[in-house]
Structure 1
Amino acid sequence: MNTELWVKNGYVFTSEGFRFASIKIKNGIIEALYDSEMEPQKEYENNFIDACGCLVVPGFIDSHVHFNDPGRTDWEGIETGSRAAAIGGTTTIFDMPLNCSPSVTNVKNLQNKRDYLTSKSFIDYALWGGMTGNNVQNKAELAQMSEGIIAWKAFMSDSGIDDFPYVAPNQLEQAMKIAAEQNKILALHAEWQEEINSFTTFNKNQKGMNERKAFLASRPISAEEQAVSSAIELAAKYDTTIHFVHISSPKVVEMIQQAKKSGINVTVETCPHYLIFDEEDFLKKGAILKCAPPLRPREEVEGLWECITNGWIDTIGSDHSPCLYSMKNTDSIWEAWGGIQGVQFTWLALLDEALKRKIPLKDILPLGTAYVADRFGISKNKGRIRPGLDADLVLISLDETTFVDQPTIAFRNQYSPYENKTFLLKIKKTILRGKVIYDEQTGGTEEKYGQYIQPRK
């Protein structure tokens, strides 16, 4: 059955910037854009959304979430995670291969996870595959897996999950070779384990040292620098396409930028928490802001914003890594789970901060839309508002604010470092393939329209 919908009178974000336009949607696909005064009026008489006063932007793509499904749904789960994402304007996520149980490190686990998630998500999703110290030798298995995943993820330091061991320096070479042969992106958690070990031992043994300060000192920026430097060298050797996740320091971004200039196919992600919070926030609030790499000094935060304005950051991901509150509420910072609950607030927080800094939104929006779609090969369907693409849209009001309190948090475990923040914008509606999946007046749909995204060949 043909279904038609119009989104009219909004300020639509296109490749040329914002324009006052109406969008014609047919069967979930954008059919046409009209300057509002040129649209054929009679066509939308019965089925339209009035976006008057709103920005209309592409549905956000969060390429870095841990929804922990199957196996650890008391931590999150795709149902609560995808609902929270939809409320925050995200229409597509890429779910990481660890924190679900078992981790996605073989064909069987990948297929089981894919089957399990069917019909459970409110938004579209793709799956990462895991390359680890245990499976990096299984070339045939990894080749089979590569057909069902969006990209590979590997850790260069301890992941915190038993069945997801990090790749040691000698194994990373093998991982680079395999990813290059498959023409698949290899994403890396880049911290140098040997350096973390020595700094952890040293700082734990400092008598009278504040435990939170000791944790920060145990994972210095130099551990990121060493890991990134090593990975870049190998990527150059094997012509591997690589992507560094959650980079926390402008020094490291600059290294990656130099590698790009030298011809290496490399991109870099950072996260909202590295752009908003700093180590002083961690020292005050503790485990709720524990993550790896850890939060950095304020000058590093400011430097990352400079990197964004320079165009050196390629993507933003939430790195939503949820857990039970009891896993944060421990006596020792060393024992607390490291991860930030943020998928619902990623774009609110980021756009709010950009507005405060007077950075044009046209420079920020592609980091969570077009650039992600381009990098991960889904730009034929996602990432932009243009005819032929999925009608994934978000309506945003800059005339209203959003206050975060516990009842508004839609994660399974209702706590977040964004609690008690007020953002200078409000998400009014989230639309997935022409269907409204969140409306700020009526809440979220009960229909789970999310579909699995088949990776490009």
Structure 2
Amino acid sequence: MSTELWVKNGYVFTEEGFRYASIRIIDGKIDALYECEPEPIKENKNSIDASGCLVVPGFIDAHVHFNDPGRTEWEGIETGSRAAAIGGTTTIFDMPLNCSPSITNLKNLQSKTAYLTSKSHVDYALWGGMTDDSVKNKAELDQMCEGIIAWKAFMSESGIDDFPFVSPGQLEQAMKIAAQQRKILALHAEWEEEIQPLTTFYKRQNSTNERKAFLASRPISAEEKAVSYALEKAAKYGTSLHFVHISSARVVKLIQQAKQSGMDVTVETCPHYLLFDEEDFLQTGAILKCAPPLRSREVVEGLWECIANGWIDTVGSDHSPCPYYMKNTNSIWEAWGGIQGVQFTWLALLDEAMKRSVPFKDILPLGTANVADRFGISGQKGRIQTGLDADLALISLDETTTANQQCIAFRNQYSPYENRKFLLKIKKTLLRGNVIYDDQTGAATKKYGQYIQLREEADGSVPH
């Protein structure tokens, strides 16, 4: 027997913009949108009143490290996905490193897939890892291909022992493999041959201001060199590239030029590069340590210009958590680099967009339709459209949210967003028509999250 649910009287975000409408959901799928409330809804008790709320597609965070299995004291999918749901996110793509062991072979992928079953509050897909070691075994990478959303590789040290970065020579092999598989290759693009000697130099200085020294050890030029090299090789092999956490407009422009030349390449940035700057890092310290590091206020403004130009494709939280003691070290060099923020990504971005008078229509696709289109799940996710999963976030602009420690839902309760006040509130989050978060009752006890695998096209290929 079919189940029916109505989400009534909200301002619904569609391809044409916001519409005052009611959504009919049948068996977890969007069945129809009605501009005016149809007669049957008045007697239908199975409904949610969205009056006064924006109703937007559930957000897709393509860049999280939930560290499960193996490092659940850092996070875990149960706490990480709960925090995501509270922030309006309904789908995450979990990175192949920071779990232990890393997902660089078929056995580890199968073990992780089995382990995560029934543990997530939100739907999830898994990244596969390409490393200097794993690219030598193409047969195994071919076997992993069906179970992953895309490949991830580092062009500089990852900080995880069993996830070595891909050297320039081996990157060519990674490019070839990804191109043959018609799979996206995502890159952490910093040039190790520039970072390593700079890091050694600044550490030896024994500077009284280690925070400034850390910033100097990872300049924008290291991103530029890595991106330029990767684009050159991708053009040679026809590889689909996705650059993650790009921190500078200079680098975005390089990627934009490659797009205009016809290359299949996209770029992600993160909320921390759009909200915080290097002065915040110098004042706050390790809680804002990340790689690439935060940049100057001028660079932050440049990224917002890139968004206005339509040059940035996606935003991901790069939620990279750890216990507080790994941040609370005597030296900034020893502190773990990563930002805890999956719960606050869209609260923060939409709040900032309002303050800047940036239209929501320019921001929302960066975490919805654009992500679904890029990673081949637009037949399931990313829009409020007939036939797609009823993944929704209901947002009130008449209420506020304060990110205090008590409300932080990820495992280790600290964040650079702590004590920030956002001029909006997530009222409800729905995953396939199931309410997984309600601002009055909290996160649902039942976990509805499912594992997403890419569907094959008729010719046997995997879409991207």
Taking structure 2 as the reference length, what is the TM-score of the superposition? 0.97
| Corresponding position of 1:344 | 343
Please tell me whether residue 84 in structure 1 is matched to residue 83 in structure 2.
yes
Is the 8 Å Cα contact of residues 8 and 36 (structure 1) preserved in structure 2? no
| Corresponding position of 2:365 | 366
Q: Deviations over 1:149-170 (max 9, x none)?
A: 0000000000000000000000
* Counterparts of residues 59-98 of structure 1 (less than 5 Å): 59-98=58-97
**Alpha carbons of 1:42 and 1:259: their partners in 2 closer, same or farther (altered >3 Å)?**
closer
Q: Deviations over 1:52-79 (max 9, x none)?
A: 0000000000000000000000000000
Tell me which moved more, 201-210 or 8-17: 201-210
| Corresponding position of 1:129 | 128
* Counterparts of residues 194-273 of structure 1 (less than 5 Å): 194-273=193-272
Please tell me whether residue 7 in structure 1 is matched to residue 7 in structure 2.
yes
**Alpha carbons of 1:108 and 1:332: their partners in 2 closer, same or farther (altered >3 Å)?**
same
| Corresponding position of 1:403 | 402
Q: Deviations over 1:171-191 (max 9, x none)?
A: 000000000000000000000
**Alpha carbons of 1:202 and 1:87: their partners in 2 closer, same or farther (altered >3 Å)?**
same
**Alpha carbons of 1:329 and 1:302: their partners in 2 closer, same or farther (altered >3 Å)?**
same
Q: Take 1:267 and 1:178, find their aligned partners in 2: how far apart are those partners? A: 19
Q: Take 1:260 and 1:450, find their aligned partners in 2: how far apart are those partners? A: 34
| Corresponding position of 2:355 | 356
Q: Deviations over 1:373-423 (max 9, x none)?
A: 000000001000011000000000011110011000000000000000000
Is the 8 Å Cα contact of residues 90 and 391 (structure 2) preserved in structure 1? yes
Is the 8 Å Cα contact of residues 6 and 41 (structure 2) preserved in structure 1? no
* Counterparts of residues 248-397 of structure 1 (less than 5 Å): 248-397=247-396
Q: Secondary structure at the match of 1:379?
A: coil
Is the 8 Å Cα contact of residues 320 and 342 (structure 1) preserved in structure 2? yes
Q: Secondary structure at the match of 2:70?
A: coil
**Alpha carbons of 1:387 and 1:43: their partners in 2 closer, same or farther (altered >3 Å)?**
farther
Q: Take 1:365 and 1:386, find their aligned partners in 2: how far apart are those partners? A: 15
| Corresponding position of 1:17 | 17
User: CA offset at residue 112 of structure 1?
Assistant: 0.2
Q: Percent identity?
A: 78
User: CA offset at residue 201 of structure 1?
Assistant: 1.6
State the AA in 2 paired with 1:4: E
| Corresponding position of 2:101 | 102
State the AA in 2 paired with 1:56: V
Please tell me whether residue 112 in structure 1 is matched to residue 106 in structure 2.
no
| Corresponding position of 1:429 | 428
Tell me which moved more, 207-216 or 110-119: 207-216
Is the 8 Å Cα contact of residues 87 and 345 (structure 2) preserved in structure 1? yes
Taking structure 1 as the reference length, what is the TM-score of the superposition? 0.99
Q: Take 2:319 and 2:266, find their aligned partners in 1: how far apart are those partners? A: 20
Q: Take 1:185 and 1:9, find their aligned partners in 2: how far apart are those partners? A: 39
Is the 8 Å Cα contact of residues 321 and 340 (structure 2) preserved in structure 1? yes
Is the 8 Å Cα contact of residues 436 and 445 (structure 1) preserved in structure 2? yes
**Alpha carbons of 1:44 and 1:121: their partners in 2 closer, same or farther (altered >3 Å)?**
farther
User: CA offset at residue 40 of structure 1?
Assistant: 3.1
Unpaired stretches in structure 2, ≥5 consecutive residues: 457-464
State the AA in 1 paired with 2:8: K
Q: Take 1:135 and 1:6, find their aligned partners in 2: how far apart are those partners? A: 48
Q: Take 1:456 and 1:215, find their aligned partners in 2: how far apart are those partners? A: 43
Is the 8 Å Cα contact of residues 324 and 412 (structure 2) preserved in structure 1? yes
Is the 8 Å Cα contact of residues 224 and 251 (structure 2) preserved in structure 1? yes
State the AA in 2 paired with 1:224: E
**Alpha carbons of 1:42 and 1:337: their partners in 2 closer, same or farther (altered >3 Å)?**
closer
What is the count of residue pairs matched by the alignment? Answer: 456
State the AA in 2 paired with 1:7: V
Q: Take 1:135 and 1:323, find their aligned partners in 2: how far apart are those partners? A: 26
State the AA in 1 paired with 2:7: V
State the AA in 1 paired with 2:248: S
State the AA in 1 paired with 2:96: P
Q: Deviations over 1:309-334 (max 9, x none)?
A: 00000000000000000000000000
Is the 8 Å Cα contact of residues 6 and 44 (structure 1) preserved in structure 2? no
Is the 8 Å Cα contact of residues 104 and 130 (structure 2) preserved in structure 1? yes
| Corresponding position of 2:459 | none
Is the 8 Å Cα contact of residues 207 and 213 (structure 2) preserved in structure 1? no
User: CA offset at residue 289 of structure 1?
Assistant: 0.2
Unpaired stretches in structure 1, ≥5 consecutive residues: none
Q: Take 2:36 and 2:74, find their aligned partners in 1: how far apart are those partners? A: 45
User: CA offset at residue 339 of structure 1?
Assistant: 0.1
RMSD (Å) for aligned C-alpha atoms? 0.8
